[in-house]
Each structure stands twice: as C-alpha cells, then as structure tokens.
Amino acid sequence: MVRDVTELYHEFGDDRLPPGQRKTEKFPVLSKSGTPEFDPETWEFSVTGAVGKELSFSWDEFRDLPCETQRQDFHCVTGWSKFDCEFSGVTFPELAERAAVADGAVHVMFYGMDDYTTDLPLEQCMRDEVLFAWGHDGDDLPREHGGPLRVVTPHRYAYKGSKWVNGVEFLTDPERGYWEKRGYSDSADPWNEERYS
C-alpha cells in the first residue's frame, strides 16, 4: 500500500509546484562530494543527544523497523521539482518514539557519511512525511541518491534531507548544518521561497 502525501502543499501554498520551480521528469544527482562507501556488515546508525534512550542499529536491525511507502514530491533549491517519487522507509516519529525524545529537545541534526550535516526544528521533523528512506520506486535507493539510507523532506527543500544518513542528534539549542552555514535558508519552505538566509 502506498500512502499518497502529495497533497501536503495545501498546508503551505496554493499550487503543488512551489513558486520559481520547474517540473522535471529526471532525477538529477546533487552531492557536495562523492558517493561514500557502504558496507552492510559495518554500517551503523545512531540516535543521540537529548533522548531518554540513545539507539544504535546495524543495517539488518534498521531494515527490521516498521516501514511504509509514500508517494511524495521532491523540491530542489536549485529550481527543479520531481513529482510522485515513491519512497519506502521508516518515519521520523517512529524513530523519535523509540528514542524517547527529551522534553528539552527543540532541534535536530542529521549526519551523512560524506560529512554532510543538515538541521531542522524538531517540530518540522515530527511528521510522518519525514522518512528515513531505503527504497525508491520499488527498488533499493540508488547509491548516488543516498543509498543505503537517506532522509526525505517533501515539505522542505531537499537539502534538508541528508543522503547516506547514519546519525540523528536531538539538540536543546538550534545549530546549523553544512549548507545552512554557507548561506542557505534555515527554514527552507519552498512555498515561501526560503532559499537563502
């Protein structure tokens, strides 16, 4: 079963295609550096910071978590949008619940295996549409698109979704990630064209 979440734009704007975006059928690759190595035997995913219970998962353990498939749109800050991507994975709230997020947590930092980081307010993460995705259109997520595991954020520009994600940290004060430190918007709402800060 596929959960269609492409209607979420009603919360933010009038049009499914955010202002200043062009629709593409392709799925371009945007990476700050190369595609990092992945070894399923040594891969480890950690949940740390302001939580009641820090967590760590092997690849097999992560793949045993409850998962779902969603139809989502993908908006890149450089101006292209791809509609109707099917991503399969674990929702952010599912993981947050297992970690028993502390009352003081207000912000989240995501870590990628290529030393990428990106941040979001906790409330922007606590949505079922924020997925730790290992599948795309019925296949494994391609390595160049962040496989084995990436985050997708259909309500925010796609730089908020770390490819090759292997860590999540809950923070009691906001901090900035890789692009956020380099002038991209902290909030990144595509319908409000929050591209730069």
Ligand X SMILES: Nc1nc2c(c(=O)[nH]1)N[C@H]1C(S)=C(S)[C@@H](COP(=O)(O)O)O[C@H]1N2
Closer of 97 and 140 to ligand X (Cβ): 140
Q: Are 124 and 162 in contact (CB under 8 A)?
A: no
Under the criterion CB under 6 A, does residue 185 sit at the interface with ligand X?
A: no
- 117-121 β-sheet, strand order: 55-58, 44-49, 165-171, 107-112, 117-121
Closest separation in Å from C-beta 87 to Mo ion: 17
DSSP 3-state assignment of 178?
A: helix
Under the criterion CB under 6 A, does residue 188 sit at the interface with ligand X?
A: no
Check residue 51 and report its DSSP letter: B
Please choose which of ligand X, Mo ion, none residue 136 contacts, taking the beta carbon within 5 to 8 angstroms, the exact cut-off set by kind: none
Please choose which of ligand X, Mo ion, none residue 171 contacts, taking the beta carbon within 5 to 8 angstroms, the exact cut-off set by kind: none
DSSP bridge pairs for 58: 44
Which residue from 69, 91, 162, 166 is in contact with ligand X, where contact means CB under 6 A? Answer: 162
Identify the CA nearest to 58 among candidates 39, 75, 45: 45
Which residue from 85, 101, 145, 153 is in contact with ligand X, where contact means CB under 6 A? Answer: 145
Instruction: Give the length of the chain.
Output: 197
Element (DSSP H or E) covering residue 188: none
Please choose which of Mo ion, ligand X, none residue 91 contacts, taking the beta carbon within 5 to 8 angstroms, the exact cut-off set by kind: none
Residues 108-127 that bind ligand X (CB under 6 A): 112, 114, 116
Taking CA 130 as the corner, what is the angle to CA 187 and CA 138, rounded to the nearest 5 degrees?
135
Please choose which of ligand X, Mo ion, none residue 154 contacts, taking the beta carbon within 5 to 8 angstroms, the exact cut-off set by kind: none
Instruction: Please state, as a whole number, how many other Cβ atoms lie within 10 Å of the Cβ of residue 68.
Output: 15
Under the criterion CB under 5 A, does residue 31 sit at the interface with Mo ion?
A: no
Under the criterion CB under 5 A, does residue 151 sit at the interface with Mo ion?
A: no
Binding site for ligand X (CB under 6 A): 28-32, 76, 112, 114, 116, 145-146, 158-159, 161-164
